[in-house]
Structure 1
Amino acid sequence: MGDGRRNDRNPAMFGASQLMRWSLSSCSNFPQHKYFYINQPMTWFQAQNYCREHYNDLATFESYDDISMLEPTFPYEYAWIGLIDDPKSWKVNLGNKSNSWRWSVTGEPGKTTFEAWASSEPSFGNAQETCVNMDTDGTWIDTDCTNKYSFVCYTVTKQSEKVYNFFPTVKSWNSAQEYCKEHYTDLAMIENAFENAMVFSKIGGKRAWIGLYRVPWTWSDRSNSSFKNWDDTDPNHFPLNGHCGVEGPHHKWLDTSCSVLQPFICQQVTRLTTTLGMQIMTDANMTDPAVIEQFLQQIHARLTHLGWTDFKLQWKNLPSNQTQQT
């Protein structure tokens, strides 16, 4: 008869406490670069193909520590590195590359196909023109973001229609963006000819900032490194088509035509990997994939909160002859 007490524990879910093991593999957040000078004059794209075939890619630099790994005495006058601002992704069309045009409100390229560029625009003049204003005839012009112009903000109604507001006060593009985000939705986003005509009707013959901008220069290996080591007068878009980066004397960078024949620098990248093993005691059913997945998600969230990056968790049960029960 027993003592009348029920055991509500589900043996299938809990069972006896067991010793379990799981492993944590972590890759260094900072890849280890090794650089190789190649004295075979090629165009930038030829050099890129060579490096990808024989190494990893053209050289990427993420810090001055990487620069210090280069030969102290520069062996050539100039050498290609992996930096490029390919006009196919910003001049031919709006594009969806990381250096393509994007609207401030989304911050993402490839979200619209409408464009109203003036003749010969965008031009990326002096390698500085990465923000856009509407000209007095309603066409778009890229210009230096630090220039000061009037600007147009916008909001969206409940009917999903855009309402544009023109401000004659002159500001830099960034200051205008801050104002629009604080008081409206953002700088004007224009997605079709009708909306372009609406903005044009507001500006009254003035030039005005709209929300189009881009972030120039990308790395061949698609690194998101924001490190820059340009020479004092570069980039300057010299000679009017300077879309590829070279390293010059003192390891400073310059921009020049991608078709110039130069020696180049390749890179070999490795990542340091650390594997840790841990053991836990639990009475949960760790043969259930759903339970294991939930456990790993909790551990992942905890480690991420503690600052871990670029790691993988893997569950592994001990062999049955090593399992301890209590």
Structure 2
Amino acid sequence: MMMQNKIQLVVFLAGILSKASCDLQRFVLIQDPKTWTEAQSYCRRICVDLATVQSDEDITKLKEAANAENFPSDAWIGFSRDVWRWSYQNMPVSNAKWDSFQPDLPDTDVACGNINSKGRWGDRTCTDADNFFCQLDNQNTLQDKFEYIDSVRLSWHDAQTYCRTHYTDLAAVTDDAENTFLASELSSRNLNDAWFGLYRIPWLWSDNSGVLWSSVKWKSTQPDNLNEIQCARANPGALMVKDNCSTPLPFYCRENRRMQRVRFTIKSDTSLNQSTVMQALEKKMNQILSDQDVNIRSSITWIIQPDGKIFQRLKTENTPQTACKVL
């Protein structure tokens, strides 16, 4: 009898746990200091991702997480921006040749790079139309590797498409000789500048959420226009400051919680010990949750009835059977 009831209970719970749930999100403060990249890896492995903070609800969650730990300081959140890169193979820039007061576009803008006849670099709005340099792979000489395109003036992204269609990509400068060659090509044509493959993507959220700039809250004077790799830390009020991504700091993770309410009935011919039943049910429910996701973290909360008890006895009435009529 007991074994039969146990089997029925397992089937009943398995059906309930696949339905009727609500998903909740919260922020969790991890006070073990890590670099931004280490914190991102931790959050993605243990929770969901680093915290995205760009709404009033997000700010409330961050404050709650900080207050729960009496935490008054700054901690990493999931906001970061990349350094300047080359369009070709998304390579990082190793030896920048910025002109005076360059780059000067706002830190929150997409920006593209050009080279001038003196070999100095500048940033411009990517929609500007200009001539450009393309490159080919596996060429022995610089004259064969780079091609100046003067037949058409295009935006940076259209120039990128053109080069990738007809050549390999927009030109990437990997050493001083290549930089000098491109500058001399412009100088020999009495031209000032041209697009090449340099570009910058502005700030992004770690979970790839779209950035709502009107909702992003920076401290005064932030973000500055320094060009090294930068990540964002936030105080308990969700005001952000740029910092070097290699700085070890506490961090906020975003955690998804699924809350499910389960009601069940236990049939027994004898009285049941409430504590024993609770332990058995918790063990079985944890087993079911574990089978659904090996990395899930779960907890069970029992709802106490007004009379102080968890389980309520149901009264059943025996319905007399009606005899069949004999025709």
TM-score of the two chains, using structure 1 as the length reference: 0.47
Q: Decide which structure has greater strand share.
A: 1
Which structure would you say has the larger Rg?
2
